[in-house]
Amino acid sequence: MLMLAIIGCIVSLVLALVLTPLVKKFAFKIGAVDVPNARKVHTKIMPRMGGLAIYLAFMISMLVVLPFVTDFSTRDTNFIKAFLIGGSLIVLTGALDDRFQLSAKVKLLGQLIAASVVVFGFGITVDFVNIPFNDNFSYLESWVSIPLTIFWIVGVTNAINLIDGLDGLAAGVSGIAIGTILVMSLLMGNMTVALLCLLLLGAIIGFLFFNFHPAKIFMGDTGSLFLGFCLAMLSLLGFKQIAIVSFITPLIIIGVPLSDTFFAIIRRWLQKKPIFAPDKGHLHHCLREIGFSHRQSVLLIYGIAAFFGILAVIQSSAALYEANWVTFVVICVMMFFLQIGAEVIGLVGKTKRPILNLFARLRMKAQDVKGSKL
């Protein structure tokens, strides 16, 4: 199936290259455009809805490849059906928002409907988890697994949507996360997930030719919500493959969007602002503010996303040998760099730097002790 998946990836990439200019014309024709304002970094009207090209390239390549796949299990078939139908509902929600600027409540309703189709229509849920440092598996009752799965799908979908602020940012970060899941799926021998990852990667790479700075088209909510949904579904692999991947792995894979969302919530709570209120305190805004160019900011965040991806692969590979101490090290390294990075660039606030302030006080105290000895 791997060779078939690679061919499908190439087909998806070519389709994205062909479809994106057509979607661009379609977006202008129906008025799905992004007008500059105080929060936006672009200075001219840009077509939105570019994610439609990613979706169409992925769906068409799926239709090309699926007839040649004969070894799907019942679970694989249900997963793919849930993936395609739920993703289609998400794309519809995003496309309507790109054109008509839906309210946050209506968008949330669309996401909840898509997640509910996945859970109630096809029975895709987080049934059990492997807690780090514990060899026993925790099986979840339906009253826990159902809301947890819906929360996961909606949360990850919105996390990708929140980082979509610079040319090529959401597409590239999503591509890196999907690439990480691809590597893990190959290590596990899960060719169904590998197939989905490769088809999505082809569509994303093709779209990035038009979306990387300077962008000719934005993916809009059509793309960011769809890629977020795809990541949420594919990262459920981390919960299903209990013998290999622990509970923490999916969180590491999508560490960039989740951490940016987490710090945004903390920032708005400290500033006594509504959690869903837009601001210019996201990771990409902070990097631009401290002097990085548009392209440098995007490439730096790509690097951070790749760092998280490497940690996820290391952690999941170590789980094969039951090396739980590696999980502990990975979590500590991740949390340390997250906190230091957030304080350095001011993700929570310019004055909210407890760890850096502690280091500064310790350094001053050491200097005082050294001076007193002299």
22 vs 144: which has the higher pLDDT: 22
109, 149, 97, 104: which is closest to 125 by C-alpha? 149
324 is in an annotated binding site: no
Q: For 256-300, write each residue's pLDDT tens digit.
A: 877 887 777 787 777 777 766 666 667 777 787 777 888 888 898
End-to-end alpha carbon distance in the chain: 72
The SS3 call for residue 218 is coil
Q: Which residue has the higher pLDDT, 323 or 36?
A: 36
Only one residue has tokens 């001011």, namely 346
The parent domain of residue 123 ranges over 2-373
The structural domain count of the chain equals: 1
Q: And the tokens for 247? A: 């509970």
| Structure confidence at residue 76 (pLDDT) | 83
Question: Structure tokens of 99?
Answer: 């054109």
Does the pLDDT of residue 242 top 50, yes or no?
Answer: no
pLDDT for 134: 47
Q: Was 97 annotated as part of a binding site?
A: no
The model's pLDDT over 196-211, given as tens digits with 9 standing for 90+, comes to 999 999 999 999 999 9
d(CA 7, CA 188): 21
What is the DSSP secondary-structure string of 248-305? THHHHHTHHHHHHHHHHHHHHHHTT--TT---S-SHHHHHHHTT--HHHHHHHHHHHH
Q: Which helix (H) or strand (E) holds 374?
A: none
Q: What angle do CA 314, 150, 222 make, to 5 degrees?
A: 85
Give the DSSP H/E element, type plus range, for residue 139: strand 137-139
Residue 92 clears pLDDT 70, i.e. is over it: yes
- What distance in Å separates the CA atoms of residue 23 and residue 140, rounded to the nearest whole number? 43
d(CA 236, CA 79): 10
Average pLDDT of the chain? 82
Cβ-proximal residues to 38 (8 Å cutoff; 6+ apart), any chain: none
